[in-house]
Structure formats: C-alpha cells, structure tokens
Structure 1
Amino acid sequence: MGIIGDGLDRAVQQAFTRPIPKSAGAQMRYLVKQLKGTRAVADLLGVSQRTVERYVKDQIRRPRADLAQRLEDAVRARWQPRVRAQARKQAATAAGLVIHTRARFGFTAAPGTSDDARIRDLTVALPPQYAARFFSAQDAGASEQQLQQIAAEGLGEMYFRDRGRRAHGLEVQFTDVEQVEFDL
C-alpha cells in the first residue's frame, strides 16, 4: 500500500486483544483454517502445497526470512476481523483518530500571506467524519494520493483553519511525507 494506508492498518492492529500466533506452524494452521485449504495458502505465499503441509505438521519449523515476513503479514491481515471492524466503527462514529505526521506543508491563500512550504511535525486529533472518510476510501481501494488528500483536508480544517475560526480560504498542500502514524 503506501505510508498512509499502512499507518491506518497499524492503528487498527493496535486494537487487537490477543497477539498473533508466534510459531510458523501455528501461523500456517491459522491460514489453512481461514482460507479453507493448503492449496489456497500455498498460492497466497508463493510456496508449494507440500511445503505448507510440512509447516502444518511441524516438520519444518523455521521459514526463510522472506517467507516468514510474508507469512506474518498474511496472518496479521486476517487476525481478529471482528475486533478490527469494531475499532474502525468506533473511530468512524464516535472517537475519531489522532494523526502524528512529519511532512512538508505549503499553502494557497490570499496575496500577502506566508505560503512558503516547510517541514512540520504535527499531532492533531481528527473528528470521526475524517476517520470514516479514511476507512471508506481505503475499503474502496483509494490510492495513496487520495488518502493523502483526505489527510490534507483534515489537517487543514482542524489545525490550520481551527474548525473555520481563522484562515478562511486557506488550502493546505501536504507533500514530502516522511512519517505518518495514527492512533484510534
């Protein structure tokens, strides 16, 4: 995905109530159960069906580093779907989310104002409607640029325009994103 999409996924994963399985065998067994067969898991991970069966039976215990990462990512993406959905719903309807970012911000504003772009570190609480926009866009397969635009609108509204109390007409340009983290 991208830096913003990955940040949203990490924020939702913080809501997990149990850790993912640790051993490769336990992770494989979980995926086999979720995907209902060893062939689907083998296709997902890019290994043979026999390799998956060996992990399930604990005949192989330590995967290669690249396979271990793919395996962990696949399990993490499917782990506790109801907890994940509940956390997203809570953020989108009541709690909102907090965005921590380090990026270049520039502005389009009235003549005579300072619109020079510069790197800023911001931590801003966004209301639930922005969380809902993030999650619905992510579910619809939005690009990183579209998610970045939603973040720019949210940061512009909440931080720079202070919910419409100042800097009317200010348009925020959110570029050169170095880091983004979200908290639910």
Structure 2
Amino acid sequence: MLDDFCTASIAEALDFADTHHWTRQPPRSDSARLRFLVTRYTDIGVLASRLGAKPGLVKEVMEGRRSAPGSVLSQAIAKDVVRLWQPRVRRRAHHLISTGHDGMLVHFKAWFGFTGVAGSSDDGRVRHITERLPTAYAAQLFQARYRNADEGELRGIIADAVGEAYFKVSPRGKLHMVALTDIAYIEFSY
C-alpha cells in the first residue's frame, strides 16, 4: 500500500507499524479507499479538507469518474486509510505491547543527544539508532497517539525512552535531558 514509505512523522510511523498487525487488507483502488473514508467522516467536505483536495474532486474520484491526479492525493488517501483501518486490531496489538507481552523497536536517523558535559561523546549529533523501548514508554506513546498529541509531545516521549535505553539515564522527573530533533526518518516495529 505504501511501498516506498519513509517519514519523519512519529504519528505516521506508528500508523505504518500497525499495518503489520492487520488481519485483512484495506481497499486497493483510490475510489474504494475513499468510499471507506467517507464512512469515517461526517461529510465529504471534512474529508476533502483532510486530504488537501476540493470536495468535487474527491467525489469524482470516489465515484470512479476520475482517477486521483498525481501521487500526492493518492498518497494522502492511502495514509488516511492506514490511520483508520482496523482500529480494534490496532488496539489489541497496542495492549500487548503496553503490557510487556511484546516489545517495540524504534529505528531513526536524527539529531540526538544528552545534554551533559560539553564535548562528551553523549553530546548531540546526527545518529542512526535502533533501540528497544522500555514498555512504560510504549504505553505512553500509544496513549498520546490516541489523544492525537502533536509531534512535539510524541518526540519528547521517544527522546526520553531512547535516552533511558541508549544512555542509561532515567528522565523520571520530566527534565527532558535528551533531545531528539531534525528527524530524517523514523520507523517502528512491534
């Protein structure tokens, strides 16, 4: 569905990781995907706004009278389907991860570092990191995602989690001693 998926968005990366738990595949054509999305939105205008398109165009694509022009609209449709497909399956997978039955792995390239002594090896720099997140942070991340938390809040949770796992420091006091910025890409697997 999103074969060449690469994102700097934590929310989108979480949504994409959920695709590995689906029990059924979503619709394949843009018109079928739009028919699915219309069932999740109050009206076609709200959906069109979400996709960054005009309501008339969305209606024409949904009815099959026109194909989605360019890959931008098609990609926006696919991302929204990924975000909304099989919510119960997604919640079940999140529950298993949040209760410690399964783990969550994060892989990213970003500016990442510990605000420690200047010039130390822990100083911030662009790093490629793959790390298993502590269970408590996975639960926090999912709860924040359910609330539609912004990217800044999600980034703070990931920074604290990877900081604890990578640098072996515990930011329990919400000091955010670890910074994560300028994400080139981020992926999750669970």
TM range (shorter): 0.7 to 0.9
In 1, Cα distance between the equivalents of 2:181 and 2:106? 15
Q: Give 2:158's match in structure 1, choosing from 151, 164, 173.
A: 151
In 1, Cα distance between the equivalents of 2:180 and 2:61? 48
Q: What's the TM-score once normalised by structure 1's chain length?
A: 0.76
Q: Give 2:56's match in structure 1, choosing from 48, 72, 75.
A: 48
Structure with larger Rg: 1
SS in 1 for 2:55: coil
1:31 aligns with 2:37: yes
* Distance verdict in 2 for CA 1:62–1:156, change over 3 Å: same
> Retained in 2: the 8 A contact 1:109–1:170?
no
In 1, Cα distance between the equivalents of 2:119 and 2:41? 60
Name 1:118's counterpart in structure 2.
125
* Distance verdict in 2 for CA 1:20–1:62, change over 3 Å: same
Name 2:146's counterpart in structure 1.
139
How many residue pairs match? The answer is 174
Q: How do residues 93-108 of structure 1 correspond to structure 2 at under 5 angstroms?
A: 93-94=99-100, 95-108=102-115
* Distance verdict in 2 for CA 1:4–1:67, change over 3 Å: closer
1:80 aligns with 2:83: no
Give unmatched runs, 5+ long, in structure 1: none
Calculate the aligned-residue CA RMSD, in Å: 3.2
Report the structure, 1 or 2, having the larger helix content. 1
Q: What's the TM-score once normalised by structure 2's chain length?
A: 0.74
Give unmatched runs, 5+ long, in structure 2: 1-6, 49-53
